Structure 1
Amino acid sequence: MNNEKAVVVFSGGQDSTTCLFWAKKKFKEVIAVSFDYNQKHKLELECAKKICKEYGFEHHILDLSLLNQLAPNSLTRVDIKVDKKQEDDKLPNSFVDGRNLLFLSFVAIFAKQRNIRNIVTGVSESDFSGYPDCRDVFIKSTNVTLNLAMDYQFEIYTPLMWINKAQTWKMAYDLGVLDIIKNETLTCYNGIKGEGCNDCPACKLRSRGYLEFENLYLNKN
């Protein structure tokens, strides 16, 4: 098994791009894998391609269009608006059923064909927006299942699992890629690059985190 290589689940957003550069520091070779599931805002795939090309990462985009048919939601359908407020007993309509499970499964298959066991994903239990497939227990369970399913020892890394958005910005700062994350990534549910729309839940979480990061870290320097 090759312990010096890793595959990163890469969307072109803040979290996965931070993880991409985290992996670059930890491993000798990093491959980024993105997914086309007919998401409303294909610009995220363009961001992913541009980042990988500009900073020297091997990049693959896999077709997962069936997910769009199986799990219609506000990230895949133009006629469904993103919930701005989340009800306590209900998942937000930006949650895509099975997405991270499928992403990790396909990335694991991809990795095994290349004799790679390390997988990196940017999920976080601290700022997970209520998504059940961003929890640590899900990742650990999936790691065990993939190992059993393929008789192969994968290791799934989650660098952001126990940190909030301010700390994620701090990680980008420490890695020397703050400007890349701030200006070249797409997190916005409305498909606006960089600072985004400042209105959707993803943008609000991102901007609140940046302000906290500035207050806690940048303004002290």
Structure 2
Amino acid sequence: MTSLHTPPRAVVLLSGGLDSATCLAIARDMGFETYALSVAYGQRHAAELAASKRVAQALGAREHRTASVELGQFGGSALTDPGIAVPLDQDNTGIPVTYVPARNTVMLSIALAWAEVLGANDIFVGVNAVDYSGYPDCRPVFIEAFEHMARLATKVGVEGAQLHIHAPLIELSKADIIRRGTALGVDYGLTVTCYQADDDGLACGRCEACRLRAAGFKAAGVPDPTPYQPRSA
């Protein structure tokens, strides 16, 4: 329960990347007391998790937790299976090999569990359906369906709470996301977006995530603070 003097709570999924950092800043700007949740799912770009700690602290999250679920044991994605190469210097057609089966469904379910314990009726996720890689779990229809499911599957939902899944970036271009975050004081130098960043968080500059990010900064007219790995000759 919240009083007139207590801000409502929200769980914000925080990968440590550009989009989720912006999402956390938006939730804070909307007046929510934010609880940041990162998920270690066996991703090869684990430098994002270190970045999530920096971002949560910088943006004033009330609490930051990292949940673990080993999706990597199933493989099936270039982000969790070392036997599948991350595509470089190419645009995707169809659903790419960087799609992680059921990832957003799993992460939103974990966020829903924490939100119910916290008494939070709001969950924020930084999915995007404009400058993105074609993942099916980044579409508005998925977010709407999950919100409906959340109201059916939880104690608070069947007791009448109106649970909301917020996806404030879903219809924004990458440039618009960067402009919005910059206006809210996000330090994108703290974030890691690359699918195969090294242990120091240096980006490859060649995967689709890197190229979408770089194009976004260029289109936004904002200097790109991304540290890149040195290119071999």
Same fold, TM-score > 0.5, yes or no: yes
Are 2:13 and 1:18 equivalent residues in the alignment? no
Show structure 2 runs of 5+ residues with no match.
223-233
Distance 2:179 2:196 in 1: 25
Question: Quick one: structure 1 residues 168 and 87, their matched pair in 2 at CA, closer, same or farther if it must change by over 3 Å?
Answer: closer
SS at match of 2:22: helix
User: What's the offset of the Cα at 1:173?
Assistant: 1.7
Letter in 1 for 2:107: F
User: What's the offset of the Cα at 1:52?
Assistant: 2.0
Show structure 1 runs of 5+ residues with no match.
216-221
Show the 5 A alignment for 1:1-221. Answer: 1-2=1-2, 4-57=8-61, 58-65=63-70, 67-84=71-88, 85-86=90-91, 88=93, 90-151=94-155, 152=157, 153-177=162-186, 180-181=187-188, 183-192=189-198, 196-214=203-221
SS at match of 1:60: strand
Residue in 1 that maps onto 2:228: none
- The structure that is helix-richer by fraction is 1
SS at match of 1:95: coil
SS at match of 1:116: coil
User: What's the offset of the Cα at 1:71?
Assistant: 3.9
Deviates more, 1:188-197 or 1:20-29: 188-197
TM-score scaled by length of structure 2: 0.84
Residue in 2 that maps onto 1:218: none
Deviates more, 1:104-113 or 1:51-60: 51-60
Question: Quick one: structure 1 residues 87 and 14, their matched pair in 2 at CA, closer, same or farther if it must change by over 3 Å?
Answer: closer
User: What's the offset of the Cα at 1:28?
Assistant: 3.7
Asked if the contact 2:112/2:123 (under 8 Å) is kept, the reply is yes
Distance 1:71 1:139 in 2: 24
Distance 2:216 2:115 in 1: 32
Distance 1:174 1:53 in 2: 18
Deviates more, 1:77-86 or 1:110-119: 77-86
TM-score scaled by length of structure 1: 0.88
User: What's the offset of the Cα at 1:86?
Assistant: 4.9
Residue by residue over 1:133-160, the C-alpha shift from the partner in whole angstroms, topping out at 9 and shown as x without a partner, is 0000000001001111114131011110
Letter in 2 for 1:167: D
Distance 2:139 2:14 in 1: 18
Say what the alpha-carbon RMSD is for the aligned residues: 1.9
Identity %: 36
- Count of equivalent residues: 210
